[in-house]
Chains A and B, each alone.
With several copies, the nearest count.
Chain A
């Protein structure tokens, strides 16, 4: 049944990562259209982020070895992954870079298009929002120190805040705290208590923001330290609605998966190509102004 349709392979993040599960949902939803014409969408993700670049490069090669009609992949660690992407292009397989790398990477590699935004740019966006709302000292909580994507997020924040005259430091948490919200919350609380000039705090994931919210209320600094997060979940959105969180940086993960797959499906089947390059899905800011609409999407697992 899969003989003639578009066999599209999508390389993405860990399957249990809330952010990537939304990208995957978008890709899977777009895949339903592909399936109507006898195509398929296969999701390839690493089991963990310990070895992100090498693992992702392996996944690209795994995809290529299955004679795909098209491949979608993020350029997380260009040094490690570019060779593999070049092989894809050299084999004549249409390629879309998404989520990270930017249009630069797409051009360099000979990919059709770029869909998404960049971690660094998302960080910049968040930093600017903080800056424009008067934050001068922002803490970036990194529960996965050493990973390129999380480091980039914090770096973006720091660079943007620096422009508006403030500063941002990183709080790296040891692996013995990862996945333990209490350890994360208590570490954040300690940091907040230690530095009483802090006025902003951002976490690299939506789950960590739940811990940070508890830390802030425990430390009793809710009126001073403004909370923000990369990505979001229903609980975080609820906080934005209630006013205990300032904003979330949204890069609309669902759209990244959905658009990239749809574009390739259209290209493989019908030769369609979009003149808009790159296709940017973010960064968007979700704050009190637009939280209601976002909540509806979150309930459906798409935001």
Chain B
């Protein structure tokens, strides 16, 4: 029996209000183009790539972990497919599988390091971030002699991973939707999802309650490695080339999207709907500014202020959800 009262207490409401606010704002200042098919494609495409990474990063955050290594996972996987299927001309499927396997492998290593060493994942993945960036640069130069490699992929690979539908919408959009559904199912309807929430709430109690926390942790890191590798791989196919660059933008952007989406930085709380809304909000702000007459110089300022506003709003709604008591009486314990 969902009433308005109980809806308002849904933690996602904060993120929803935020997204609607920026959407209305940019619809007004961005003119008709912003909401046209082409305009929507512009922020949806950005959202789809960020969103594919934000989802597993969000799950990790709910489970109490961070993954900074996605920042170098993307160039590492693009370079992998470009070197294998571009430089060495092997079939594209080999490159795709190699890139995705690399993602799984890096995630596996991060996960094992986190559970074995008990070092905070922030530090562990900071180390893998640097190590992987160094490896990508060094190996690319050794193998291909260059830091930028071209990749020609056949029509099938293009269609599946790197094409525009209607000339505008990247196919990654559909991948994103698929992953949203999968992750949403996992978090809300599967036992695994309950384990993730419990681990973020209290890792020791979760282990004591019989949750195989080690396996869950490794699985989560592998999924974030896989998704980052997927984005890198599909970018290489879409743009017919790959470059080495030690990227920091996806690191913070994915965290920002997830936090705007109402996930608690310290773990134990969050929702897939929220992450999707946070990703959309971030993408709208990031791209919307180009549709307005504002000077793009102020983009960072707007993102910073937005982040703070979003987090404050989420906090309010989370507190509401926490103090929710089914009796409408004013006294707590009546």
- A45 and B296 contact, CB distance less than 8 A: yes
Q: Which of B211-241 contact A (CB under 8 A)?
A: 235, 238-241
Cβ contact within 8 Å between A67 and B33? yes
Inter-subunit contact B240/A80 (CB<8 Å): yes
Known: A42-B290, A182-B235. Is A64-B38 also a contact (CB below 8 A)? Answer: yes
12 more contacts with CB within 8 A, not counting A50-B248, A173-B296, are A17-B245, A18-B147, A21-B141, A25-B145, A52-B245, A65-B33, A87-B167, A148-B148, A179-B247, A180-B253, A193-B39, A235-B151
Asked if A274 lies at the interface with its beta carbon under 8 angstroms from chain B, I say no
CB–CB B287/A234 < 8 A: no
Report if A54-B287 is in contact (Cβ < 8 Å); known contacts: A176-B253, A186-B45, A206-B148: no
CA distance A194 to B75 in the complex (A): 31
Cβ of B15 within 8 Å of any chain A Cβ, yes or no, is no
Given the contacts A171-B296, A174-B300, A146 and B150 also touching, CB distance less than 8 Å: no
B115 adjacent to chain A (CB < 8 Å): no
**Interface presence of A58 (CB below 8 A):** yes
Contact B42 A186 (CB under 8 A): yes
> A174 to chain B: which residues have CB within 8 Å?
134, 246, 286, 296, 299-300, 303
Q: Which of B104-155 contact A (CB under 8 A)?
A: 130, 133-134, 137, 140-141, 144-151
Who on chain B is nearest to A47 by CB? B249
Which residues does B use to contact A, with CB under 8 Å? 31, 33, 36-39, 41-43, 45-46, 49, 74-75, 130, 133-134, 137, 140-141, 144-151, 164, 167-168, 170, 235, 238-241, 243-250, 252-253, 286-287, 290-291, 293, 295-297, 299-300, 303
Given contacts A16-B137, A77-B148, contact A147 B243 (CB under 8 A): yes
List the A side residues contacting B240 at CB < 8 Å. 79-80, 210, 235, 238
Let me know if B238 and A54 touch, CB within 8 A. yes
Q: Given A53-B241, A186-B45: A300 and B290 within 8 A (CB)?
A: no
Asked whether A175 lies within 8 Å of B43 as measured between CB atoms, the reply is no
Is A282 close to B, CB under 8 A? no
Interface size class of A (residues with CB under 8 A): 35 or more
Cα distance, A58 to B249, chains bound together (Å): 16
> With a CB–CB cut-off of 8 A, which chain A residues contact B252?
176
CA distance A220 to B299 in the complex (A): 26
Q: Which residues in B have their C-beta under 8 angstroms from that of A50?
A: 75, 245-250
Q: Is the CB of B246 within 8 A of A146?
A: yes
Task: Please give, as numbers and ranges, the residues of chain B lying within 8 Å of A219 by CB-CB distance.
Answer: 38
- Alpha-carbon gap, A300 to B87, bound state (A): 10
Q: How distant is the Cα of A63 from the Cα of B297 in the complex, in angstroms? A: 17
Q: Are A146 and B137 in contact (CB under 8 A)?
A: yes
Complex CA gap A16/B144 in Å reads 13
Closest Cβ–Cβ distance, residue A208 to chain B (whole Å): 10
How far apart are the CA atoms of A49 and B247 in the complex, in Å? 8
B119: shortest Cβ distance to chain A, in Å?
Answer: 20
Q: Does A138 contact B (CB under 8 A)?
A: no
Inter-subunit contact A40/B235 (CB<8 Å): no
Within the assembled complex, what's the spacing in Å between the Cα atoms of A235 and B82?
12
The contact of B148 among A63, A144, A207, A218, by CB within 8 Å, is A207
CB-CB under 8 A for A207 and B249, given A58-B46, A59-B290, A171-B296: no
Subset of 10 A-B contacts with CB under 8 Å: A16-B244, A21-B141, A65-B33, A65-B168, A145-B244, A145-B297, A147-B243, A177-B249, A180-B250, A218-B38
